[in-house]
Amino acid sequence: MGLNIVVLVKQVPDTKNVTGKAMNDDGTVNRAALPAIFNPEDLHALEAALTIKDSYPDTRINVVTMGPPSATQVLKDALYRGADFVTLVSDRRFAGADTLATSYALKCAIEKIGSVDFVFCGRQAIDGDTAQVGPQTAEKLGMNQITCVSAFEAVNIGNKELTVRRSIEGGYEILKAKAPLLLTFTNEGFAPRPPSARRVMMYKNAVATATNDKSYEECYMNMSSCQDNEIIALWDLSSINADPQNCGLAGSPTKVKKIDSVVLAAREIKMIPATKEGIGALVQELVADHTIG
């Protein structure tokens, strides 16, 4: 018996290997100067799913990304590493999405996939570092969630129950939860496996081509090496039954007013006791200096 696992991944600019001017004068990211890579923590999430599949080969792993057609590269990478299915959620109407609109679209895609036991994703993407998309998606799906997972303590396939190690400040905690469940993973555990040479040979020619001129019709990408194997699905806004009002710029309440380049300098940190009084004092302090409120 296997599980149905969806892994959410993102193609991101490689902020560690900046080859040119990383930021445009208007404060937006100059994507041309940054090679696109698989968001590192998402690779750990995929590896977590693959370790379950190693033990329970009937497990089906569907890797989903939302992004432009070029994001198929991370989906191919996921196939090389062992994903069973991959789905690109792509539509011009998704452009400009903030975390809220992104998690809405991902929620719609996951609902379209249907019976999903677990959703795995990286804790956060290295381009935005918000760590919001995973938790928001869980909320929208009505799933329980455990963030910052670094290891599995036990996998109970019969009960569809996972016991996981969750990183917390100064240590970790062990939590147990049943499907349906969303987990986000840190890069502390689940070192990603390399791509499989055989799968690279099998899937290297997979390209994103629409089957007809309606470029965002629901279709499958053409696999020139194995035409029968319709393995890279391409879903647009209407095929996942999303409401355009909740997508892209229209569905994004976040407005970027201005971007400053902040150089961080080491400063003293302040420990807040994890008590009602401690937190209360911090809130008061933040309200007083207008950081919140």
Partner 1 sequence: MENFFLDNKDVLFHFDTMDLDRIIKLFEDDFKEAQTYPEAPKNIEDAKDSYKRVMEIVGSIAAEYMAPYAAEVDEQGVILENGEVRLAPATSRAWDMLSKAELTGMAMSRKYGGLNMPMTLLTMAGEVLSRADASFLNLGLQQDIGLTLENFGNEDQKQRIIPLLAQGKETSAMILTEPDAGSDLQAVSLKATQAPDGTWRLNGVKRFITNGCGRIGLVLARSEDREGARGLSLFLYHRDKHTKIRRVEEKLGIHGSPTCEMQFDNAPAELVGERGWGLIKYTMWLMNSARLSVASQGVGIAEAAYREAEKYARERIQFGAPIINLPPVFEMLTNMRVSIEAARSLLYETARAVEMKEGLERYSQKHPEQADALKADIKKYTKLAALYTPMAKLFNTEMANKVTYDAIQIHGGTGYMKDFSVERHYRDARITNIYEGTSQLQVVAAIGGVMSGVAASIMDEFENEDWSELPAALIDSVKAMRTKFEKAQLAVREAGNEQYTNFHARRLVEMATDIIISWLMLRDGRHSERKLKAAEIFITLARPRIEAHSTFVLNNHDCYLKNYQTIIEEF
Q: Which residues are at the interface with partner 1 (CB under 8 A)?
A: 193-202, 204, 225-226, 229
Number of Cβ within 10 Å of residue 212's Cβ equals: 7
CB closer to partner 1, 69 vs 195: 195
Number of Cβ within 10 Å of residue 108's Cβ equals: 21
CA-nearest of 101, 78, 80, 100 to 88 is 78
Q: How far is the CB of 52 from partner 1 (least distance, A)?
A: 15
Q: Indicate the SS3 state at residue 221.
A: coil
Cα-atom radius of gyration of the chain, to the nearest Å?
20
The type of residue at 99 is T
- The structure tokens listed for 140 are 């929208």
CB closer to partner 1, 31 vs 199: 199
CB 192 within 8 A of CB 43: yes
CB closer to partner 1, 194 vs 293: 194
Q: How far is the CB of 224 from partner 1 (least distance, A)?
A: 10
Q: How far is the CB of 5 from partner 1 (least distance, A)?
A: 18
Query: What are residue 119's DSSP bridge partners?
Result: 6, 182
**How many Å apart are CA 153 and CA 163, to the nearest integer?**
5
Give every CB contact of residue 18 below 8 A, 6+ residues apart in sequence. Answer: 33, 34
Q: How far is the CB of 51 from partner 1 (least distance, A)?
A: 11
Widest Cα–Cα separation across the chain: 64
Residue 287 burial class via C-beta count within 10 angstroms: exposed 0-12, middle 13-18, buried 19 and up? exposed
How does DSSP classify residue 174? E
Q: How far is the CB of 249 from partner 1 (least distance, A)?
A: 34
CB closer to partner 1, 54 vs 139: 54
Q: How far is the CB of 195 from partner 1 (least distance, A)?
A: 6
Angle subtended by helix axes 40-55 and 72-81, to nearest 10 = 30
Q: How far is the CB of 38 from partner 1 (least distance, A)?
A: 11
CB closer to partner 1, 47 vs 98: 47
CB closer to partner 1, 171 vs 194: 194
- The structure tokens listed for 187 are 């890069």
CB closer to partner 1, 15 vs 196: 196
